[in-house]
């Protein structure tokens, strides 16, 4: 691009540095504003029983509907929000928005399933996640069984007694805790037992290796056996093919989530799936 401009590269690189600093400042200001104006919306991805195809839950995934740039995915703003602390307010917006949605479905007599919400390690470190959730459940009149939380291994590994206390308090509310992206972090087995978690979500990196050779299948099988030994459920993330689903059933994986079943969808579209209840009917009967 510099050559085409024909004005000398030196100027171009200065300009590039300037632009990059300016765009970082802009991005930060935009995000602060987006939170103040709540430009966020939730999409929901179903998970189903691997054997029956029955809908077992939804995962709430945040999207930023930017008036300037359109629909933005979390990988493009969650890291920034974590770095500048905005994630705490964003996390509140997310949980509140999910509660508002569940309460609406509840009022309208829709068939309800648990909705899991992703919580960032920073939110846990700042604290108050347990009281925030408890307050929102109460004010929206929602049963604790309808909300679940997803935490990555790094969030669980904190030695802080406050983090452990919050997780215990969340569990005590009757809220299930999912260990998200399992296999990408470095949690110890002893820690897995220390914290009261009910579900392991195996990262897509492992799902995508199924069927490609014996190692991938054996690795996944080991995780399933470990989860069962710890009396935990297992969800395979990122299931994209019939072959992966087939292998996962043979390995005894309880639940599956991924594009094969459905991508994350806006609330209106997810409602149609909630009415169908059995989302893998074809695969099950064939």
Residues that bind ligand C2E (CB under 6 A): 45, 61-62, 73-75, 78, 91, 94, 118-120, 150, 180-181, 204, 238-240, 258-259, 264
Token pair 């359109």 in the structure block, residue = 70
Cβ closest to Mg ion, residue 153 vs residue 180 = 180
Is the distance from CB of 127 to CB of 162 less than 8 angstroms?
yes
Is the distance from CB of 150 to CB of 118 less than 8 angstroms?
yes
Residue 146, helix vs strand vs coil: helix
Beta strand extents in the chain (DSSP E only): 40-49, 55-66, 70-72, 115-118, 147-152, 176-182, 199-202, 233-236, 255-257, 265-266
* Minimal distance, residue 59 CB to Mg ion, in Å: 6
Cβ closest to ligand C2E, residue 53 vs residue 258 = 258
Work out what residue 129 binds among Mg ion, ligand C2E, none; the CB cut-off runs from 5 to 8 Å by kind: none
In this structure, what token pair is assigned to residue 193? Answer: 């037992």
Cβ closest to Mg ion, residue 30 vs residue 238 = 238
Cβ closest to ligand C2E, residue 2 vs residue 100 = 100
Among 181, 217, 254, 255, binds Mg ion (CB under 5 A): 181
* Minimal distance, residue 209 CB to Mg ion, in Å: 14
Q: How far is CA 150 from CA 21, 119, 121, in A?
A: 34, 6, 10
Q: Which residue number places its CB atom closest to ligand C2E?
A: 258
Taking the C-alpha atoms of residue 179 and residue 197, their distance in angstroms, rounded to an integer, is 7
Cβ closest to ligand C2E, residue 77 vs residue 105 = 77
Work out what residue 155 binds among Mg ion, ligand C2E, none; the CB cut-off runs from 5 to 8 Å by kind: none
Q: Under the criterion CB under 5 A, does residue 150 sit at the interface with Mg ion?
A: yes
Cross-strand pairs, 178: 150, 199
Among 148, 153, 180, 217, binds Mg ion (CB under 5 A): 180
């Amino acid at each position: 691009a510099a050559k085409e401009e024909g004005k000398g590269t030196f100027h171009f690189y200065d300009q590039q540095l300037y632009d990059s600093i300016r765009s970082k400042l802009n991005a930060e200001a935009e995000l602060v504003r987006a939170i103040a104006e709540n430009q966020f919306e939730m999409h929901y991805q179903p998970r189903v029983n691997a054997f029956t195809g029955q809908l077992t839950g939804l995962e709430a995934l945040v999207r930023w509907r930017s008036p300037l740039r359109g629909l933005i995915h979390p990988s493009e703003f969650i890291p920034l929000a974590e770095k500048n602390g905005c994630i705490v307010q964003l996390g509140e917006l997310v949980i509140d928005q999910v509660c508002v949605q569940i309460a609406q479905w509840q009022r309208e007599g829709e068939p309800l399933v648990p909705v899991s919400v992703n919580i960032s390690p920073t939110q846990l470190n700042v604290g108050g996640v347990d009281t925030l959730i408890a307050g929102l459940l109460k004010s929206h009149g929602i049963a604790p069984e309808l909300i679940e939380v997803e935490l990555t291994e790094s969030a669980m590994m904190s030695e802080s007694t406050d983090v452990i206390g919050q997780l215990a308090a969340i569990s005590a509310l009757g809220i299930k805790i999912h260990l998200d992206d399992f296999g990408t972090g470095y949690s110890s087995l002893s820690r897995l037992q220390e914290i009261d978690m009910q579900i392991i979500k195996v990262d897509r990196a492992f799902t995508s290796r199924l069927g490609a050779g014996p190692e991938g299948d054996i690795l996944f099988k080991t995780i399933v056996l470990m989860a069962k030994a710890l009396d935990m459920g297992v969800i395979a993330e990122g299931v994209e093919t019939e072959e992966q689903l087939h292998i996962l059933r043979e390995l005894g994986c309880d639940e599956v989530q991924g594009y094969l079943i459905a991508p994350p969808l806006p609330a209106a579209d997810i409602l149609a799936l909630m009415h169908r209840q059995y989302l893998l009917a074809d695969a099950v009967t064939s």
